[in-house]
Amino acid sequence: MKTLAALKVLVVEDEALVSMLVEDMLSDLGCVVVGPAAELEEALRLAGSADIDAALLDVNLGGRPIFPVADALKERGVPFAFASGYGEAGLSEGHKGATVLQKPFREADLRKVLESLAAQVA
């Protein structure tokens, strides 16, 4: 169990305006932003090896689904949440039931999701 302070969060988001907002919110919450990664290759690299506690994943990365990144995080035991305009409907079969942050979201919503992720950090 970790607190949000200094929680290292990988952000995968391909839209500049959105990732800027998420960065600001995370900084306000005291988290450390890793990334943001806008491309799948970069996201996969960071998910596989970067020093991270949790991750926030945009479901659609320039038309490519994010799920390989989610799989890599699962493998490493890194808790993550999806951020999506599609809501839960946009998730693949393998990831149904995962935590979803519905866009747009408030800072309080992000905090709640991050706290639940932090609770899973060993």
Binding stretches for other proteins (CB under 8 A): 13-21, 24, 35-39, 60, 62, 84-86, 89-90, 102-104
Nearer to other proteins, 34 or 118 (CB): 34
Nearer to other proteins, 28 or 75 (CB): 28
Amino acid at site 76: R
Q: How far is the CB of 78 from other proteins (least distance, A)?
A: 21
Q: How far is the CB of 17 from other proteins (least distance, A)?
A: 4
CB hemisphere CA count around 59 (13 angstroms): 19
Sheet order of strands, 32-37 included: 32-37, 8-12, 54-58, 80-84, 100-102
Nearer to other proteins, 24 or 75 (CB): 24
Q: How far is the CB of 49 from other proteins (least distance, A)?
A: 19
Residue 4 CA: distances (Å) to CA of 14, 43, 117: 24, 22, 9
Tell me the helices (H) and strands (E) count for the chain, helix number first: 4, 7
Nearer to other proteins, 19 or 118 (CB): 19
